[in-house]
């Protein structure tokens, strides 16, 4: 039975993950591959309901542990209902954020110990580790500017929307700096799985860089 490939995109706020996920899907589909695009938190009906809770900026403060448990609850369902069935059918799964985000956000930046995250990961993700993780690295200040600019464009009301970031976007600069370090540490510790990509370039140049890494590491051939 054909087994598909599992590609994740990671990085800080506004680094360009969603943009690159779309561009990569276009390239893979152009060579005949069956691609599933998904995201975290979310990616399944239950996961999307939890996403609304997790990103709600009005949610009362809660610990990094309770947050991580919710992310892993969403992830368990996402894996079970979306990712594993797609891979089993030979489809290529592109996921906008996955478990490295928990390690960076709730671990490095949120101070949850890595042993707890490792335990959750072994239970929930187990063998379904990504074949390739594309870490888009960008100065957090630039990423936040891009994310704010996009929010303004979406609603066409700059003052109104720029003042309503989600739970994570609204955090202090030190949090976003810690995140960046967290992602770069993960990449350094997992060089066989991860590739760091410079997010400062224009989207087309980044997409070319992504494509050359995907071709090199996963050899996507023509498979109709």
- The answer to the question of residue 128 lying near ligand T5A (CB under 6 A) is no
Smallest gap from residue 60 Cβ to ligand T5A (A): 17
The closest of 3, 2, 18, 6 to 125, measured between CA atoms, is 6
Burial (CB < 10 A; 0-12, 13-18, 19+), residue 25, is: middle
- Residue placing its CB nearer to ligand T5A in the complex, 15 or 135: 15
Interface map 95-114 toward ligand T5A (x if CB under 6 A) = --x---xx--xx--------
Spatial strand order in the sheet of 6-11:
35-39, 92-96, 6-11, 132-137, 194-198
Query: What is the footprint of ligand T5A within residues 29-58 (CB under 6 A)?
Result: 40-41, 55
Contacts of 55 (CB under 8 A, 6+ apart): 41, 166, 167, 168
Taking CB under 6 A as the rule, does residue 150 contact ligand T5A?
Answer: yes
Count of residues near ligand T5A by CB under 6 A: 24
Q: Which is nearer to ligand T5A, 14 or 130 (CB)?
A: 14
Check if the beta carbon of residue 125 is closer than 8 Å to that of residue 68: no
Residues 167-206 binding ligand T5A (CB under 6 A) are 168, 202-203, 206
Q: Which is nearer to ligand T5A, 49 or 90 (CB)?
A: 49
Contact 124, 46 (CB under 8 A): no
Task: Name the site residues for ligand T5A (rule: CB under 6 A).
Answer: 11, 13-19, 40-41, 55, 71, 97, 101-102, 105-106, 146-147, 150, 168, 202-203, 206
């Amino acid at each position: 039975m054909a087994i598909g490939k599992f590609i994740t995109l990671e990085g800080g706020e506004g680094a360009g993950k969603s943009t690159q996920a779309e561009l990569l899907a276009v390239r893979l589909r152009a060579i005949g591959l069956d691609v599933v695009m998904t995201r975290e938190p979310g990616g399944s009906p239950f996961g999307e309901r939890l996403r609304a809770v997790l990103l709600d900026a009005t949610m009362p403060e809660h610990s990094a542990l309770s947050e991580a448990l919710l992310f892993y609850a969403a992830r368990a369902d996402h894996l079970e209902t979306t990712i594993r069935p797609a891979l089993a059918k030979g489809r290529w799964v592109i996921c906008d954020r996955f478990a490295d985000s928990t390690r960076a956000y709730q671990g490095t930046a949120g101070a949850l110990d890595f042993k707890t995250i490792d335990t959750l990961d072994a239970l929930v993700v187990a063998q379904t580790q990504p074949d390739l993780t594309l870490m888009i690295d960008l100065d957090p200040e630039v990423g936040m500017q891009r994310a704010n600019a996009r929010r303004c464009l979406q609603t066409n009301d700059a003052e109104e929307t720029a003042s309503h970031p989600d739970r994570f976007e609204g955090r202090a600069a030190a949090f976003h700096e810690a995140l960046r370090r967290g992602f770069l540490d993960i990449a350094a510790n997992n060089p066989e799985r991860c590739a760091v990509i410079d997010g400062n370039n224009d989207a087309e140049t980044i997409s070319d860089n992504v494509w050359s890494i995907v071709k090199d590491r996963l050899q996507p051939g023509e498979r109709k």
